[in-house]
């Protein structure tokens, strides 16, 4: 036990609270009972939980029957009268100046609503995988590869025997599990053939092979079946609740057979051995169907080595669970020894492998490795947005303080009269705090209303799934409570102090001066608001610039007007020849059509991870010294269809029969990696493909192209000619004839691949989908920047009115002495212009630093334009001048007679 | 009827106090009820029920002896009043009445 020698005591705060409210008649026995229960709970739950229970019991005991007479009695009468008086005065003050009240309350409300919406997004994004039990002890093992001292890649996937070996070798590793991800790479169709009606056929992407330890390690919520044993046998399958519903309706899924078919010719009948509750949206591992990894072992002769025992292929997500107090850092120091033990050949090949432990909850935001299970989020935007959220609320509070103090003129007489009639300063403070509590309360009610209205568009902008309900997020409510308390008391305190400090004599005489420290504070607050606005504008513009840069950047190939059709999952599988004939029939048929510019089959599609890496070396490089290059197979027309540029040599051609057997194309980067700085030099050279024990002759070099998002470097790749490795059909069409082309493609599809549903997508949409998280960030950033500026302007509006009012007499005199309206306008605006310039200058270095670090996350990035800084200054200035002009022009036009008469 | 009506939870607490004879107070009642009903109950719920039952006249109470365990605080021991016993009996006989009126074949379902 962790507690010290002294006897543990119940929480003092709770006891104090209990004594405050509980009637003396019962206090003794209740305290006694609570203490006794506390002592009973100590050995059972430990001190922390015992104290928590005590606390809750006290809170729950706060019921009317227990309250002291004091709290209920007549003594309170005076106070309740005072409170009703406070309320009345507050409401009158609010009603008296409706514009101020509106600005005040709505500014606060918009700020609170905006901040809470951001908070919801942030808490969703940063709580990925934290629902897993013991998530703090679960790690994914990633793999770093170096060849000849040069970095090759970081991968999320690892060798199949790794998990088991770790449990065997290291006592602190208690459990392991691994996953083989084919769902995202293959076309998988699972059929319920014995269905009473039509066979139910569904295509699956969220599909993984999982080892038998997976379900229990990841505390899967099983509805049926045993997590420990469900995946231990070959040909067993565990499915999600919603998948079970789709296949079996209300029938019991356990023991039912489902046929698995994929385009690697696997065709197996599996038994459903378990059903789990659908995985929540906030996990990096999303799956509907899990199949036991032992199913893989019977697939071919070498399968056991390939999928379980061999340190050859590295394509399994490997997770290990450590003992609760084990140190991952210490464990990592033992990994080099492990690599040596299991892969002694690496040292000879001059190749270095490093394993790393990635904490489970860290994966979503902080892991951007090759072969991730899904497109992960970004940590940096989350930090930015959190900061924006805080700033928005603070700006709203600043407004409140500004407006409340600047309105002191209005309230000075009231304070004077109150003081003359004998009210104490503490009572005045209480009154003004009461007003601040009321205003904050109204603002929160309004904020909740705004959130309710904004929610549908918020879900759209942020991309959070609808089932993550805002109102169920405890953090939101907690923060709302904190905002209310801090807002009411902290932002209410300063105005209360200022207002209550007035000397009755001077206020009643109408002589009223603001202290210079107050003016300074107010200027500081305005600078803060506009520095924030300027920073946000610069940020938004820079994000927009990077986005448009990425969209218009030269990717090295063309993604416009290209339609992609995935290959049919159910094809003529009786023979390879039959299937190839189908593919040929389809592509040749399309090539004959006029609206279609080019057609190619392909093993890859830009925007989606390349599935295969092949270990390649140049002929002259020593055996085993290999570079994993992305391995792409396609038809003769692939380079042409994707509009890639050949910088040396030639494309594949039907005129060279030998191309079909031995030719290969490499990218500029790949040529460099293989030791040919000048692309011309690699032409005619032989490259060894060690993974396939094959060799090929390089006939051409393709300019590097960005197969994936511009976040990452262009991958060095190798193209081979394999027309029938047709995972995708890429079809380039004329822009003017897209609908007709689609009709033709569908027609051809239905005749050649009868029985397969026709499905297609446009390559550019698909490719740009990679920027989803950036686009979300962009829209969130823009929306909330505008929000911050609006709130800032609301405050400025009030403040300018105040300044103008304060100078009423001065304006009158100036006008009498011949000042023009423009002159007065300039005089009133001057102060603000200076403040805005100062605030911009303050904002510049900060936002420059922040945006620079954001841009560092992109391999290909735009620069920060200094024009943007100027634009921000102009925008802020214009908006601010526009805002204050309402008031200043009004005062400047005022007839001096009226303004001078008011004393 | 308001004021003398016995809710389900009230009835359980009242029965428990009757069962505990001279040793029924907050903690002992809570433990007994938790044991019998198999659910976890907050102490504050027990307190409010005990005081309510006392106010309604089903229970009587007095302060017990000082003990060391409770930080020197006395317990309030609860006893069932004759009125409490009567109400329990009424509640029981009401149920038995209804039970007896259920046709036997329904109970065999």
As given in the structure block, the two tokens for residue A793 are 């302007």
Of B43, B48, B55, the CB nearest to A34: B43
Out of A617-621, A657-661, A753-757, pick the least confident.
A753-757
Query: How would DSSP label each residue in A356-371?
Result: EEEEGGGHHHH---BT
Domains and CATH numbers, chain B: 8-107 (1.10.10.10)
Local structure of A663: helix, strand or coil: strand
User: With 90 as the cut, is the pLDDT of residue A695 above it?
Assistant: no
Write down the pLDDT at residue A473.
83
Q: Residues 42..101 of B with a Cβ closer than 8 Å to A: which?
A: 42-45, 47-48, 51-52, 55, 63, 69-71, 73-76
Write down the pLDDT at residue A101.
85
A120-149 confidence digits (pLDDT tens): 999 999 999 998 888 999 999 999 988 777
Q: How far is CA A712 from CA A147, A261, A284, A368, in A?
A: 19, 34, 20, 9
> Which band of pLDDT confidence, cut at 50, 70 and 90, is reported for residue A409?
low
A766-788 confidence digits (pLDDT tens): 888 888 878 888 888 888 888 88
Give per-residue burial for A740-766: e unless 16+ CB within 10 Å, then b: ebbebbeebbeebbeebeeeebebbeb
User: With 50 as the cut, is the pLDDT of residue A2 above it?
Assistant: no
Residue B27 touches chain A, beta carbons under 8 Å = yes
Q: What distance in Å separates the CA atoms of residue A395 and residue A397, rounded to the nearest whole number?
A: 5
Q: Are A241 and A276 in contact (CB under 8 A)?
A: yes
Give per-residue burial for A157-170: e unless 16+ CB within 10 Å, then b: bbbbbbbbbbbeeb
User: With 60 as the cut, is the pLDDT of residue B2 above it?
Assistant: no
Local structure of A575: helix, strand or coil: coil
Write down the pLDDT at residue A86.
84
Write down the pLDDT at residue A517.
63
Of A31, A37, A61, the CB nearest to B27: A37
A275-324 confidence digits (pLDDT tens): 999 998 889 999 999 999 999 998 888 889 889 999 988 889 999 999 99
A165-187 confidence digits (pLDDT tens): 999 999 999 999 999 987 666 67
User: With 70 as the cut, is the pLDDT of residue A403 above it?
Assistant: yes
Q: What distance in Å separates the CA atoms of residue B84 and residue A574, rounded to the nearest whole number?
A: 84
User: Which residues are paired to A190 by β-bridges?
Assistant: A202, A260
Out of A331-335, A709-713, B82-86, pick the least confident.
A709-713
Q: How near does any CA of chain A get to the CA of B91, in Å?
A: 26
Q: Which residue has tokens 């009461």?
A: A434
User: With 60 as the cut, is the pLDDT of residue A468 above it?
Assistant: yes
Give per-residue burial for A389-423: e unless 16+ CB within 10 Å, then b: bebbbbbbbbbbbbbbbbbbeebbebbbebbeeee
Of B43, B63, B69, the CB nearest to A57: B43
> Which band of pLDDT confidence, cut at 50, 70 and 90, is reported for residue A619?
confident
Write down the pLDDT at residue A354.
92
Of A30, A32, A61, the CB nearest to B71: A32
> Which band of pLDDT confidence, cut at 50, 70 and 90, is reported for residue A902?
low
Q: What distance in Å separates the CA atoms of residue A49 and residue A3, rounded to the nearest whole number?
A: 13
End-to-end CA distance of chain A: 75
Q: What mean pLDDT is reported for chain A?
A: 85
> Which band of pLDDT confidence, cut at 50, 70 and 90, is reported for residue A73?
low
User: Which chain B residue has the Cα nearest residue A56?
Assistant: B42
More confident residue, B6 or A589: A589
Task: List the one residue out of A68, A25, A57 whose CA is nearest residue B54.
Answer: A25
Write down the pLDDT at residue A515.
58
Give per-residue burial for A462-495: e unless 16+ CB within 10 Å, then b: bbbeeebebeebeebeebbeebbeebbeebbebb
Q: How near does any CA of chain B get to the CA of A46, in Å?
A: 18
CB contact under 8 A, A35 and B45: no
CB contact under 8 A, A32 and B70: yes
Query: How would DSSP label each residue in B52-87?
Result: HHHHHTSEEEEEEEE-TTTTTPEEEEEEE-HHHHHH
Write down the pLDDT at residue A143.
92
> Which band of pLDDT confidence, cut at 50, 70 and 90, is reported for residue A6?
low
Write down the pLDDT at residue B1.
40
CB contact under 8 A, B70 and A26: no
User: With 80 as the cut, is the pLDDT of residue A887 above it?
Assistant: no
Category of A149 on φ-ψ map: left (φ > 0), alpha (ψ -120 to 50) or beta: left
Q: What distance in Å separates the CA atoms of residue A529 and residue A398, rounded to the nearest whole number?
A: 8
Q: Which chain A positions have a beta carbon within 8 Å of B27's beta carbon? A: 33, 36-37, 40
Contacts of A715 (CB under 8 A, 6+ apart): A610, A630, A667, A669, A707, A708
Mean pLDDT of A612-641: 83
Local structure of A724: helix, strand or coil: coil
CB contact under 8 A, A29 and B74: yes
Contacts of A671 (CB under 8 A, 6+ apart): A679, A681, A682, A698, A701
Taking CA A668 as the corner, what is the angle to CA A662 and CA A674, rounded to the nearest 5 degrees?
A: 65
Write down the pLDDT at residue A700.
93
Out of A487-496, A532-541, A632-641, B14-23, pick the least confident.
A487-496
Out of A21-25, B11-15, B52-56, pick the least confident.
A21-25
A548-605 confidence digits (pLDDT tens): 888 888 888 888 889 998 887 666 656 677 778 888 889 998 988 888 889 999 888 8
Write down the pLDDT at residue A98.
83
Write down the pLDDT at residue A570.
65
Q: Which runs of E-coded beta strand occur in A294-367?
A: 316-322, 351-359
Task: List the one residue out of A787, A789, A839, A861 whose CA is nearest residue A543.
Answer: A861
Write down the pLDDT at residue A425.
85
Q: What distance in Å separates the CA atoms of residue A211 and residue A287, rounded to the nearest whole number?
A: 14
Pairing of strands A267-276, A236-240: parallel
Give per-residue burial for A808-818: e unless 16+ CB within 10 Å, then b: beebbebbeee
Write down the pLDDT at residue A75.
53
CB contact under 8 A, B73 and A29: yes
Q: How far is CA A563 from CA A227, A598, A884, in A?
A: 43, 11, 54
Q: What is the Cβ-side half-sphere exposure of residue A226, based on CA atoms within 13 angstroms?
A: 4
Q: Are A606 and A772 in contact (CB under 8 A)?
A: no
In this structure, how many other beta carbons lie within 10 angstroms of the beta carbon of residue B8? 7
Write down the pLDDT at residue A244.
93
Q: How big, in percent rounded to 5, are the helix, strand and coil portions of chain B?
A: 60, 15, 25
User: Which chain A residue has the Cα nearest residue B25?
Assistant: A33
A180-212 confidence digits (pLDDT tens): 987 666 678 888 988 888 888 888 888 899 999
Q: Is ipTM strictly over 0.90? A: no
Q: How near does any CA of chain B get to the CA of A19, in Å?
A: 14
User: With 90 as the cut, is the pLDDT of residue A243 above it?
Assistant: yes
Write down the pLDDT at residue A59.
81
Q: How far is CA A225 from CA A50, A217, A459, B105, in A?
A: 36, 15, 35, 37
> Which band of pLDDT confidence, cut at 50, 70 and 90, is reported for residue A442?
very high
Write down the pLDDT at residue A593.
86
User: With 60 as the cut, is the pLDDT of residue A265 above it?
Assistant: yes
Write down the pLDDT at residue A34.
85
Percent of chain B surpassing pLDDT 70: 96
Of A40, A58, A65, the CB nearest to B48: A65
Write down the pLDDT at residue A889.
81
């Amino acid at each position: 036990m962790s507690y010290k020698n002294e006897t543990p005591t119940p929480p003092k705060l709770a006891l104090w609270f209990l004594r405050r409210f509980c009637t003396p008649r019962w206090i003794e026995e209740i305290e006694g009972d609570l203490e006794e229960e506390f002592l009973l709970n100590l050995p059972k739950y430990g001190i922390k939980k015992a104290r928590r229970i005590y606390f809750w019991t006290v809170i729950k005991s706060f019921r009317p029957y227990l309250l002291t007479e004091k709290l209920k009695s007549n003594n309170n009468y005076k106070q309740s009268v005072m409170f009703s008086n406070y309320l009345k005065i507050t409401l009158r003050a609010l009603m008296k100046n409706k514009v101020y009240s509106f600005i005040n309350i709505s500014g606060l409300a918009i700020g609170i609503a905006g901040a809470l919406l951001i908070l919801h997004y942030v808490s969703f994004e940063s709580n990925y995988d934290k629902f897993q039990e013991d998530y703090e002890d679960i790690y994914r093992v990633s793999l770093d590869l170096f060849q000849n001292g040069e970095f090759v890649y970081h991968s999320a996937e690892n060798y199949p025997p790794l998990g088991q070996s770790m449990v065997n070798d290291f006592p602190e590793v208690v459990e392991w599990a691994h996953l083989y991800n084919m769902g995202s790479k293959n076309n998988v169709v699972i059929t319920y053939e014995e269905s009473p009606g039509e066979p139910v056929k569904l295509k699956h992407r969220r599909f993984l092979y999982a080892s038998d330890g997976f379900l229990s390690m990841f505390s899967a919520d099983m509805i049926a079946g045993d997590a420990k044993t469900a995946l231990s046998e070959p040909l067993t399958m565990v499915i999600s609740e919603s998948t079970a519903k789709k296949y079996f309706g209300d029938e019991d899924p356990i023991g039912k057979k489902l046929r698995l078919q994929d385009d690697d010719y696997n065709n197996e009948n599996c038994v459903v051995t378990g059903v789990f509750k659908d995985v929540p949206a906030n996990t990096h591992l999303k799956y509907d169907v899990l199949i036991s990894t032992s199913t893989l072992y019977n697939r071919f002769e070498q399968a056991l080595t390939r999928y379980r025992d061999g340190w050859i292929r590295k394509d399994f997500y490997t997770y290990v669970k450590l003992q609760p107090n084990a140190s991952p850092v210490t464990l990592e120091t033992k990994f080099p020894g492990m690599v040596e033990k299991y892969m002694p050949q690496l040292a000879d090949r001059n190749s270095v492998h490093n394993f790393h432990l990635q904490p489970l909850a860290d994966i979503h935001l902080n892991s951007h490795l090759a072969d991730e299970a899904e497109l992960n989020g970004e940590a940096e935007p989350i930090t930015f947005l959190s900061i924006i959220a805080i700033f928005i609320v603070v700006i709203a509070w600043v407004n409140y303080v500004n407006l409340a103090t600047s309105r002191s003129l209005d309230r000075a007489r009231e304070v004077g009269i109150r003081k003359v009639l004998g009210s104490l300063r503490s009572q005045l403070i209480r009154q003004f705090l009461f007003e601040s509590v009321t205003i904050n309360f109204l603002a929160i009610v309004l904020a909740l209303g705004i959130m309710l209205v904004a929610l549908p568009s918020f879900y759209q902008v942020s991309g959070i799934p609808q089932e993550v309900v805002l109102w169920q997020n405890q953090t939101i409510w907690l923060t709302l409570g904190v905002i209310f308390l801090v807002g009411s008391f902290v932002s209410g305190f300063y105005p209360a102090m200022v207002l209550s400090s007035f000397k009755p004599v001077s206020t009643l005489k109408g002589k009223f001066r603001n202290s210079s420290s107050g003016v300074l504070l107010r200027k500081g607050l305005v600078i803060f608001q506009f520095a924030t606005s300027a920073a946000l504008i610069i940020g938004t513009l820079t994000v927009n610039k990077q986005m448009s840069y990425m969209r218009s950047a030269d990717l090295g190939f063309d993604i416009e007007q290209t339609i992609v059709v995935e290959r049919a999952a159910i094809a003529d599988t009786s023979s390879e020849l039959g299937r190839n004939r189908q593919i040929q029939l389809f592509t040749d048929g399309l090539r004959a059509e006029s609206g279609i510019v080019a057609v190619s089959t392909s093993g890859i599609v830009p925007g989606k991870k390349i599935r295969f890496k092949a270990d390649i070396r140049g002929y002259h490089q020593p055996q085993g010294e290999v570079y994993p290059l992305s391995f792409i197979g396609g038809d003769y027309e692939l380079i042409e269809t994707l509009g890639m540029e050949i910088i040396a040599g030639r494309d594949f051609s039907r005129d060279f029969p030998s191309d079909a057997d031995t030719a290969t194309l490499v990218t500029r980067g790949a040529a460099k990696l293989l030791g040919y700085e000048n692309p011309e030099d690699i032409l005619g050279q032989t490259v060894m493909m060690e993974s396939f024990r094959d060799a090929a002759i390089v006939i051409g070099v393709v300019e590097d192209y960005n197969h994936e998002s511009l976040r990452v470097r262009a991958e060095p790749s190798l193209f081979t000619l394999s027309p029938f490795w047709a995972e995708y059909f890429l079809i380039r069409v004329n822009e003017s004839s897209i609908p007709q082309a689609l009709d033709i493609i569908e027609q051809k599809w239905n005749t050649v691949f009868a029985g397969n549903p026709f499905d297609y997508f446009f390559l550019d949409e698909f490719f740009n989908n990679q920027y989803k998280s950036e686009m979300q960030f962009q829209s969130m950033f823009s929306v909330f920047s505008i929000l911050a500026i609006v709130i800032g302007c609301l405050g400025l509006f009030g403040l300018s009115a105040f300044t103008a009012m304060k100078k009423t007499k001065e304006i009158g005199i100036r006008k009498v002495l011949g000042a023009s309206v423009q002159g007065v306008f300039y005089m009133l605006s001057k102060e603000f212009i200076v403040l805005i310039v100062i605030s911009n200058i303050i904002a510049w270095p900060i936002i420059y630093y922040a945006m620079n670090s954001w841009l560092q996350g992109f391999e290909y990035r735009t620069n920060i334009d200094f024009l943007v800084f100027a634009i921000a200054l102009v925008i802020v200035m214009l908006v601010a001048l526009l805002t204050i002009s309402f008031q200043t022009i009004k005062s400047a036009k005022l007839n001096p007679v009226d303004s001078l008469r008011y004393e | 009827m308001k004021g003398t009506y016995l809710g389900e939870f009230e009835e359980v607490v009242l029965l428990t106090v009757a069962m505990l004879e001279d040793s029924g107070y907050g903690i002992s009642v809570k433990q007994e009820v938790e044991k019998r009903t198999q659910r976890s109950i907050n102490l504050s719920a027990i307190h409010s029920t005990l005081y309510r039952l006392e106010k309604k006249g089903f229970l009587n109470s007095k302060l017990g002896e000082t003990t060391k365990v409770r930080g020197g605080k006395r317990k309030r021991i609860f006893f069932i009043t004759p009125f409490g016993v009567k109400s329990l009996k009424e509640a029981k006989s009401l149920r038995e009445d209804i039970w007896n009126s259920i046709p036997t074949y329904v109970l065999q379902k």
